[in-house]
Amino acid sequence: MNYQPPYAQAAREKGEPTLPLINIVFLMLIFFLVTAQMARPLDPDIQLVNTDDPNLVPPPDAVVITASGELRFRGASATPENVFTILRSEQIGDITVRILPDGRASAAVVIALAKDLHDGGAQAIFIMTEQAF
């Protein structure tokens, strides 16, 4: 009969907790894959303006100005009044508008849209651009 002290059994049974660690890493991977797919893809016809700001991330819910000057909001044609009406119904307090212009869009169109949105009551207007590499 082999006698083993109780502390030897406890050390052998405990083992390394690698399985829970693998599960956590796997769940984090799934989370990041799912959240990356939930963002609306940008219209392939849009070519963004470049900037060097590394903290700039275009939001999925922005007013898009195409090269021809057409406004799109959430994938459909829009007017500044339509955009502001939708944002006013969804946001409580200050209205924040994000403009995502095509790099070939006229600056006059972008400024006119910003002015219309400001006159409509938007408290903050951001013009979003692409990070330059």
Same domain, 90 and 110: yes
The pLDDT > 70 percentage for the chain reads: 70
* pLDDT interval class at 5 (50, 70, 90): low
Does the reported pTM lie above 0.85?
no
pLDDT band at 28 (very low <50, low <70, confident <90, very high): very high
Contacts 24+ apart (CB under 8 A), 7-10: none
Tell whether 20 and 74 lie within a shared domain.
no
Same-domain pairing of 121 and 93: yes
Do 54 and 114 belong to one domain? yes
Residues 66-120: tens digit of each pLDDT: 888 888 888 788 888 888 888 888 877 788 888 888 888 888 888 888 898 888 8
Q: Are residues 82 and 114 in the same domain?
A: yes
Indicate if 87 and 126 belong to the same structural domain.
Answer: yes
Q: For the chain, report the end-to-end CA distance as a whole number of angstroms.
A: 71
- At residue 121 the predicted structure's pLDDT band, cuts being 50, 70 and 90, is confident
Residue 23 counted as domain residue:
yes
Written as one letter, the residue type at 15 is G
